[in-house]
């Protein structure tokens, strides 16, 4: 009975987190959304969807279950969300010269879906919140220490998920686009503009791009493929 009640609470927390996350993303998108020709959106969506379909088919899964959504937005980003959907912003598409670089980003986001990172992350956050609520009814030094430790633990977990998605992308790109160069263009551009000191990596949800380039290049070239 206690276990059922705990799971019910976790489920509720996950639902609330999902709602707030979707509202936050929607708000962020609204502030940076730009007017893009609907025909361009449609063409880009077909192109990126075909990339995703190829990846999913190579996994012996049904590509109809996975969806690409291209949004008119200047932000250089893409993200995986619940329901096997990947949102890609036109800012990212327009910034990349190499189609292999765009394909790598799509493969990375597919990795998040296949490894269930979004769901696992929400459940983890819900469990940590429940533990904190159960043990620290009031704001104390101990509760602050717990909160800080939980946040750092979550950051480390997120970085682990990012690397896992990176290596998923490497495996599938090596399989389908082994001899196509330019895969790491997105990370190389970010690294050129990245001024964060190495220590900042510990407090980031993503590995620094210079670090990512190192281990990604090694994983790609060790397999006899072009980065």
> Which residue is it, tokens 């609330």?
16
Chain centroid to Cα 89, Å, comes to 13
> What are the sequence ranges of the domains in the chain?
2-222
- What's the mean per-residue pLDDT of the chain? 76
Please identify which residue in the block is written with the tokens 């012996």: 60
Measured in degrees and rounded to the nearest 5, phi and psi for residue 161 equal -65, -40
State residue 4's pLDDT score. Answer: 52
pLDDT number for residue 119: 56
pTM, full prediction: 0.70
Residues 48-60: tens digit of each pLDDT: 999 999 999 999 9
- Is residue 27 scored above 50 in pLDDT? no
Query: What are the distances in angstroms from CA 47 to CA 58, 88, 124, 145, 180?
Result: 17, 12, 35, 48, 17
């Amino acid at each position: 009975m206690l276990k059922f009640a705990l799971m019910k609470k976790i489920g509720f927390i996950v639902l609330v987190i999902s709602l707030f996350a979707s509202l936050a993303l929607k708000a962020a998108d609204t502030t940076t959304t730009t007017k893009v020709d609907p025909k361009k959106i449609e063409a880009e969506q077909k192109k990126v969807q075909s990339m995703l379909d190829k990846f999913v088919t190579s996994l012996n899964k049904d590509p109809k279950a996975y969806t690409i959504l291209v949004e008119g937005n200047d932000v250089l980003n893409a993200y995986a969300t619940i329901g096997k959907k990947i949102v890609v912003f036109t800012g990212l598409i327009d910034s990349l010269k190499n189609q292999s670089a765009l394909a790598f980003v799509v493969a990375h986001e597919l990795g998040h879906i296949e490894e269930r990172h979004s769901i696992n992350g929400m459940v983890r956050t819900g469990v940590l919140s429940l533990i904190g609520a159960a043990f620290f009814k009031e704001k104390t030094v101990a509760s602050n220490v717990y909160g800080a430790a939980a946040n750092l633990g979550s950051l480390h977990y997120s970085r682990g998920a990012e690397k896992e998605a990176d290596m998923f992308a490497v495996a599938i790109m090596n399989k389908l686009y082994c001899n196509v160069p330019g895969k790491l263009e997105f990370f190389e551009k970010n690294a050129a503009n990245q001024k964060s000191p190495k220590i900042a990596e510990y407090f980031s949800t993503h590995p620094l791009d210079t670090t990512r380039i190192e281990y990604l290049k090694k994983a790609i070239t060790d397999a006899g493929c072009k980065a």
